[in-house]
Amino acid sequence: MTSLHQAVELPCDLDVDSVRPDLPAKPACYLLEAEDGRPVLLSTTANLRGAVTGRLASDELRQPSRRVDYRAVTRRVRFRCVCSSFEANLVYLENARLYYPKTYGELIKHYRAYWLTIRPDDEYPRFLIRHAPGGRGVVSFGPIRDHASAKRVLDDLVDRFDLCRYHELLLQTPNATPCAYEEMGKCPAPCDGRIPMSAYYQQLAEARDWLGRPALEIAGDLKRRMKEAADAKAFEVAVEIKNQLENLKSRLSPAALKVGALADFNYLVIQKGNRKGSARCYFVRSGVLEPLGQLQPERLALQIPYLLKQIEHFPEPGTLDSSEGSPADGERVNLAAWHLLLENEGKRGVFHPLSLSLDEEMITGYIEQLWSKAVSDIGPEVDDAQDSESDSN
């Protein structure tokens, strides 16, 4: 469902106008390919015909700033028409990995959310910021929209649970000299043996539990407890709870409000299909993105109950092992996370948490919502592709 399965051959004496009928004026992901099959450029566009003919324009029509004469080196156009921004970026991701295996990480870095990860079974575990979730033995929490927001969440996590700030000292346990945070009462100093590592592991477990709980749920619980303490005139307790609320601010920001365990990152994703009233669906569940196919307007009465039955048999949240996913799985889920965090609702599509109830009427409403605007959600051509400086690599 992501291969560039259509191709147009280009002769050496190319007349651009002659290939226009073979290139649909539709959103697509496309690859310009040299005669020997070498990839020249991979990109997405809202108008395949306009994008490719513009790239292959004659010398007189080409933009002066363009550093590659695509007309001279391109002998084939491979493409796949797409129906949504989500699908365009997913097809781009898969083909960037296929055609640029050594450098594709740079090509997809725009479509990146951030995660806090930890290896609980390590002898000296610590939380790190990574731009992809999952991995063997890794527990991931996210997604977070940008690195700065992820850093704020991590700093607040360390402060809240008095975690070690200098991992190089923790590695010297129990023979390290404690840092200044021990003197300020901000660290129990496992590094010099003042507490056993078993106690520090418990602190890390509590930090993982905190990251796994929805921020709004934690905030509601804290506000209730603060009110109870104030009503009981336990003002010191109320002040301490207020400080915990302040510590939660980084997670209540729009960039980090969706933070939770990767095992609970489970959504039904609904995007536009290839014609009005249709929709393409995906499962994102426990570290894997799974395409489900297309819902057709004339078959919704049959297809939606089948879709709901699949969701009904979905395992309970947290019961799937999300740590064994491949790097490619992590990249796909990260792309979904990036879309989930988009402020532009048109480009985001529909993300329905699988933990919430869903019925036929809701799915039908989601599809109508997607098609309420006739404008394509795929923007103009995006040059996140391999550019002219690396064409020869």
* Strand-pair partners of 128: 117
pLDDT of residue 59: 56
User: pTM higher than 0.75 for the full model?
Assistant: yes
In sequence order, what are the residues at sequence separation of 6 or more whose Cβ sits closer than 8 angstroms to the Cβ of residue 339? 85, 86, 89, 269, 347, 348, 349, 351
Distance of alpha carbon 345 from alpha carbon 340, whole angstroms: 9
CB 355, CB 258: distance < 8 Å: no
pLDDT of residue 126: 96
**pLDDT below 50 — which residues of the chain?**
60-61, 65, 319-320, 382-393
pLDDT of residue 39: 95
Distance of alpha carbon 250 from alpha carbon 154, whole angstroms: 9
pLDDT of residue 67: 64
Q: At residue 230, what is the residue type?
A: A
Alpha helices in 59-125 (DSSP H): 70-73, 85-99, 104-107
**DSSP run (H or E) holding 276:** none
